[in-house]
Structure formats: structure tokens, C-alpha cells
Structure 1
Amino acid sequence: ILNAVIALVTLSAERKGVAPPNWIKPVILLSIPWAISIHTVTAFLYNGLPGRSFWLTAILAPRFLASAFAAGPSLLILFCMLLRKLTWFDVGREPIRRLAVIVTYAMIVNVFFVLMEVFTVFYSGIPEHKRHFEYLFVGLDGHDSLVPWMWTSVILAVVSLALLIVPKWRRNDRLLAVACVIVFLSLWIDKGIGLIVGGFVPSPLGAITEYSPTLPEFAITVGVWAVGALIITVFYKITLSVRESLA
């Protein structure tokens, strides 16, 4: 809601050729800690389940923030490139390069946080926490359906870092687009499959029940993505129409 209000107010002011109202600046400043708090509260909800040892880690909230600052700008870069290709509007190279730097640092921090947790778990030998990582990456008691997914996420993360860390490759639009897609897919697997499903398996009693999504879950997921795509399409059409009228 905050983003929608900010976008509509600033675009309306731009269309009228006047400065945005003074009250919108505090709203913009409020949106920054608000975005951080959303991911933090989400992590706290998982932290508040004492029976799920996989989520009982103080670094869960920082991991959420790091992955959000990597996946979000990656998607934004892809949208900007898509706009450049399909419409007359070009955001310019400098904003995309700055976003690419944000993605690079955020992805480095995200991988660093994951490695910190892996080291802590296996060096200390915490059995409850260690079993979740074993299930995800090597399988447990013959159950290994998520192992290919997790190693795919790891490989994608390493490849994306290689493409992003080297400045020459990061400034290449084609390689940057590939890196952004890889970052998004890697984090989607890590959070959507590894973190959520991995937190439920094994159970608090040690039982292993393999998970597979059901048709209602597929339908709900498609619906959520469809609503998000609709909102983005509407806002981009509004933005392009305003910019076109001012051109």
C-alpha cells in the first residue's frame, strides 16, 4: 500500500508538472524500515515455533533481508530490461548498474550467512539442526527428494556470484540478465523449498515424511503470482502513459 501511494502521488505530481506534496517524503522514509520490518517479523514467526529446530536461529531474519535485497533488485533489473526491449522507455544504464551492485553485495552476504549457519551446525554437532541439513543436501534414511533441488540452488548461487563479482561481466547486459535470473531461481529454491519444506522434515519426533505439492497448493501459488503480475502490469502501464504524455 505504501509503495502504491508513493508511486501514484509522485507520478501525479510529475504529470501536472509540480513538486510532490511535502507529506509524501515522510511516507517514503517510513517505507524503508517498514520493508525491513516485514521480513524481520516473518522470520520471528518462524523463530516462535520451538518444535522446529531448523528455524531456531538468530540469523534467520538477516538471511531473509539479504535474500530480499538480492532477489528483489534482480527482478527489477529484468523488468527494466524488458521495458527497454518492448517499449520506448529506457531507464538508462546507470540505475541498472547501481542495482546490479546491490544484488552483488546482497548475494555475497546471503551466501556468507548460509555458510555461517552450516559451520555453526556441523562444528557444534547440534543433532536436531544437523539432521535438517543432512536431509536437504545428502538425504536421510533413504529420503533424498530435495537433494537435487538444493544442490541446484548451490550451483546457481556460485555461478551467479561469478557473473556478478567480475565487473566486466556485470556490466554486460546479457550476462547481467542471466545472473539476475540465476539469482532469483537460486533464492526461490533456497527459501521456497529448502527453508520451508526443510523446516518440517524431519518432524520434531524425527519422522521423515516426503513432501510433494498438491493441486490446491499449485492453484494458490499460481493465483498469487497472477495477482502480482496484474499489479505490476497496471503500475507499469500507468507509469509509461504518464512518461509518454510528458515526452
Structure 2
Amino acid sequence: MLTGQSRDVSWGFYTAQMTYLVGVAAGGVMLVLPYYLHNYKAFGKITILGEFLAVASIVMCLLYLLVHLGQPMRALNVFLHPTPWSMLFWDGNVLFGYLVLNIIIGWNVLDAERNDISPPPWIKPLIYLSIPMAFSIHTVTAFIYCGLPGRGFWLTAVLAPRFLASAFAAGPAILILLCMFIKKMTTFDPGKEAIQTLAVIVGYSLLANVFFLMCEVFVVFYSGIPSHMDHLKYLYTGLHGHGPLVPWMWTSILCMLIAIVLLVIPSTRKNSRVLFLSCILVFAGTWIDKGLGMIVGGFVPSSLHHITAYVPSIHELIISGGVTAIGLLILTILFKIAISIKVYNKPSNVQK
């Protein structure tokens, strides 16, 4: 068997990566919404970077989906044989639609900036459409999970808000890290105000994510439903002597709590080194929580209360590394094009 998956744990590392990257893609709306709807000019330099980060993230999502299916041709069935009653059908369509929107919007806005002109008028409706699409891609992804009645860990209405909160923390946090790297390696300056505003968004989004997690813990244990409690016990305290994820999950909680404190306090948030560390903690905490914890926690224990451990195989890790490399290559090319235009084009007085 090439993967660590089994009859009881039918989703694994590929699905976890896809779920997390959908959130990274959705996080780009935290730049698009303030810049285009509220004319927040501080985001003018980096909105295109957020859109291109979304493009690379969705490409990786779709590649992980192809890898998970085993035969890429099966993915075409989502579009060739529409099944509106299936959440996977809607997820595939909103992901592909959001990918196309970001490519069209980002490329045309960048081309207009290169030519020192205003973007074409027909871009505006697409920008407005991309905002609800950003919310929908992660909402529908959450519905794939919470629409399964046999999985107590996922059977909660708060899952979609929790997914969105973690997305609005993880996506901007990764963009901050990328902006810091770009500023160090090139002459492009994303702007201090933009970075600090993003950091505030990350801090309070992460706070909302932890709050939703605590609400889930209260409901599960106050209701006392064993099938629901066992999932959280397995993740955070261990169940029947099985607890391989316990240190990982508490590391996630610790990372998120430390990051919240560092990001909410202005003095620590404005320190560039502390901000860098905070964003690393946000990335680590949300990735463990939504990646390892969300997938394995939903399958273990099984509906029959069997505990089947899941550990990603070396094949899964190597293939995931390849998919990530493709995504980083696409991101590098897009960022290089965007930065070269912003650095070498003379400033324009045209309203973008």
C-alpha cells in the first residue's frame, strides 16, 4: 500500500494540504475587500501579491485533488457529470471559478499598471464577484466535512466560520512572511502600514478561530455525547492508550495563543522580528489544527469506535513535496513579474 490511508481513514495528508491551501487562497479577500470596496490605498502595492498567492494556492489544491483521486481523468467527472446534490461538485466549481477570476483580474490590473492606464471597466464586476467567491470556496469546503452525519467531530454548524477565521489568519500571515522576504531580497517595499494592518487582521482572525474551537469544546463536553467527545479526547488527551497527535495538538494551541498575544499587543506587533516569529507561529498552529487535527480527528475513532492510526507514508510526503514545489514555482514566476512591473515602472497618478 503506497499511502498510510485505510478503510477507516480514507482521507489523509493530501486532503489535509488541500483544505489548508483553500484557506490560504481565501485569505486573499482580506486585501481585495478593503482595497477595492473601501479604497484602502495602503494595500495598493500588495493586493496583486495576494491575488497571485491565491492563484498558486488553488493550483496546488487542484493538484492535491488529482493526486488523491489516483487517476486524474476521474476529476473530469465533476464537470462532465454534474451532480448538484454533491458538495464536491460545488467545491470543484467554486475553486476553478475563483482560480480563473484571480488570473483574469490580477493579469489585467497588472497590465494596466504596466501601461500606466486604468484597468478596463469590465474588471470591476469581476472583482466584486471574487469577494463572495473567496468566502464560498472555504465555506463549501467546510460543508464537505460537516455534511457527513456519521462524523461527530465535523458535525457542527460552527465549522464553516471556524474555517474562514483560520483562513483569514493563515493567508495574510503567509503573505506577510512573503512580503518580508521580498523586501529583504529586492528593492520593492510593500509598505509598513500595509504589513501592520495585515498583522492586526491576522491577530483578531486567529483569536476568532481559537474562540470557535473553545465553543466546540464546551458544546461537546457539556452535551456529554460519547461519540463526539471521543474525537477531542483522542486529539488532546489520548483515547484508550492511543494519542500520537496529542503533543502536536497542544503545540498547535500553544503556537496560536502565543501568536495572539504577540499580534494583539501593539509594541510587539510593530517589532519586525517579533512579527516574523508571530507569523511563523500562526502558520504552524493553523496548519497542525486544520491539517493533521481536522482530518485525522474526524476519522479516528471510526463510527464503530475503532481506533485506526494514520501516519503519512514516505510516498505521500515526497509527492506532497513535489506539488508544493510546483506551487512555489508558479508563485515565484507571478511574483517576479508583479514586482518587476511595480519596481521599474514609473509611478502613475491614474486611479487604479
Paired residue type of 2:232: F
* Match runs of 1:8-19 below 5 Å: 8-19=107-118
Q: 1:156 aligns with which of 242, 255, 265?
A: 255
Equivalent residue of 1:22, what SS?
coil
Structure 1 stretches of 4+ with a deviation exceeding 4 A read none
CA distance in structure 2 between the partners assigned to 1:35 and 1:47 by the alignment: 19
Q: What is the match of residue 190 of structure 2?
A: 91
| Contact map agreement 2:172 2:202 (CA 8 A) in 1 | yes
Alignment of 1:76 onto 2:175: yes
The offset of 1:101, in angstroms, is 1.0
Q: What is the match of residue 137 of structure 1?
A: 236
Q: 1:65 aligns with which of 164, 167, 186?
A: 164
* Match runs of 1:1-247 below 5 Å: 1-247=100-346
Q: Which TM-score applies when normalising by structure 1? A: 0.98
Equivalent residue of 1:55, what SS?
coil
Paired residue type of 1:240: I
CA distance in structure 2 between the partners assigned to 1:74 and 1:214 by the alignment: 29
The offset of 1:4, in angstroms, is 1.9
Cα separation, partners in 2 of 1:193 and 1:125, compared to 1, 3 Å: same
The offset of 1:201, in angstroms, is 0.3
Paired residue type of 1:142: G
208-217 or 15-24: bigger deviation: 208-217
Paired residue type of 2:212: F
Per-residue Cα deviation, 1:196-216 (whole angstroms, up to 9, x for no partner): 111110000000011110123
The offset of 1:51, in angstroms, is 1.5
Equivalent residue of 1:54, what SS?
coil
237-246 or 83-92: bigger deviation: 237-246
The offset of 1:240, in angstroms, is 1.6
Paired residue type of 1:229: L
**CA RMSD, Structure 1 to Structure 2 (Å):** 1.0
CA distance in structure 1 between the partners assigned to 2:327 and 2:132 by the alignment: 22
Equivalent residue of 1:53, what SS?
coil
Per-residue Cα deviation, 1:131-166 (whole angstroms, up to 9, x for no partner): 000000110111010000001001111110110111
Structure 1: gaps of 5 or more residues: none
CA distance in structure 2 between the partners assigned to 1:34 and 1:85 by the alignment: 33
The offset of 1:6, in angstroms, is 1.3
The offset of 1:91, in angstroms, is 0.9
Paired residue type of 1:123: Y
The offset of 1:245, in angstroms, is 2.8
Q: Which TM-score applies when normalising by structure 2? A: 0.69
Paired residue type of 2:131: I
CA distance in structure 2 between the partners assigned to 1:27 and 1:230 by the alignment: 26
